[in-house]
Amino acid sequence: MIKNDLFLRALRGETVDRPPVWLMRQAGRYLPEFMAIREKYDFFTRCQTPELASEITVQPIRRYGMDAAILFSDILVIPQAMDIEVLMKPNFGPYLPEPIRNAADVDKVQVPDVTQELDYVMQAIKMTKEKLAGEIPLIGFAGSPWTILCYCVQGQGSKTFDKAKEFCFTQPEAAHKLLQKITDTTIAYLQEKVGAGVDAVQVFDSWGGMLAPDDYQVFSWQYIQQIVDALKGLVPVIAFGKGCWFALKEMSQSGASALGVDWTCSARNARYLSGGNITLQGNFDPSRLLSPPEEIKKRVKRMIDEFGKDKYIVNLGHGILPNIPLENVEAFINAVKEYHE
């Protein structure tokens, strides 16, 4: 039994005294204790070493006492497992030396045995569960197939992902074949994570908002739906599409337990578009954590009032930024813990 099950109760839509709170990217680069580890080990070493990944996962919990932990990892461990080389370049980000650009490239992509290729993630989950000692739930995650395709085809981060979109629009057969391979790998990966002990999973569609609404259904949502269908009977599933407010209606009918919302969509619109019955998560602008602590507290209270305390998980609208003062994060978390109507 998990002692603080507020997060899981919110995912089930139960009445709560206050909403739960956690932060996307809470295990990471704004924390001095994380930076100390980063100075010694490169990015993928941190991801692939269970002792390091589990330690990084619990660092923010020790400091702030969030209501859920999210495993320290990266969405790009999936293409790595599929035999696609992914490097993390300092001051640059992800870099794939041999991006996928045609059907022949897609044919070379492997659907791996995740129990072998990604066993280090499962070991990190088991170690993290030991460290959490039943106090709070642990979230596992994966990138959406479309978001993974964006990196695999573009070869790096991008403001437009023009090469990824060109690939989908000019070679749709190859694109769908690649998306299905990523989907099959992701389903096996998340199922294995559940077996290792995660209590919920989140699918991050970070680049879903790059697509027009009709293209989103074709190249992204139908693959996320496969993932939701495969996982929803095992654990609660959170679907988060950045910039995808236009798909909230379809998402709300998917069987997902909750939907993430970014800061460009108001609480009122998110409730309206999603039908008003599903748990929502979000949507504080990460940059607003640069405001003074008292301003943060006021805005958090207003945000909870607008969403309503039930069927709601307090979070940011995307990942926390590296330059956020520690006391501002504390103000955000404490504002939720101190909330009363």
Residues catalogued as catalytic? 25, 29, 38, 74, 151
Element (H, E) at 28: none
Q: What would the two tokens of residue 330 be? A: 């504390």
Token pair for 201: 């999973």
Question: What 3-state DSSP class applies to 261?
Answer: strand
The response to whether 74 counts as a known ligand-binding position is yes
Q: What is the largest CA-CA distance in the chain?
A: 59
Q: Is 156 annotated as a binding residue?
A: no
Please check if 27 is assigned to a binding site.
yes
Closest CA to 111 of 186, 195, 202: 186
Is the Cβ–Cβ distance between 314 and 288 less than 8 Å?
no
Instruction: Give the residues across from 88 on adjacent strands.
Output: 94
The string of DSSP letters for 280-308 reads EEEEE-GGGGGS-HHHHHHHHHHHHHHH-
3-class DSSP string for 38-90: HHHCCHHHHHHCHHHHHHHHHHHHHHHCCCCEECCCCCCHHHHHCCCCCEEEC
Strand, helix or coil for residue 215: helix
72 labelled ligand-binding: no
Q: Is 63 annotated in some ligand binding site?
A: no
Q: Is 154 annotated as a binding residue?
A: no
Q: 224 near 203, Cβ under 8 Å?
A: yes
Three-class DSSP category at 237? strand
Annotation-wise, does 29 bind a ligand? yes
83 is an annotated ligand-binding site residue: no
Q: Is 151 annotated as a binding residue?
A: yes
Q: Is 44 annotated as a binding residue?
A: yes
Residue ranges for the known binding site are 25-29, 44, 74, 151, 206, 318
Residue ranges for the known binding site for substrate are 25-29, 44, 74, 151, 206, 318
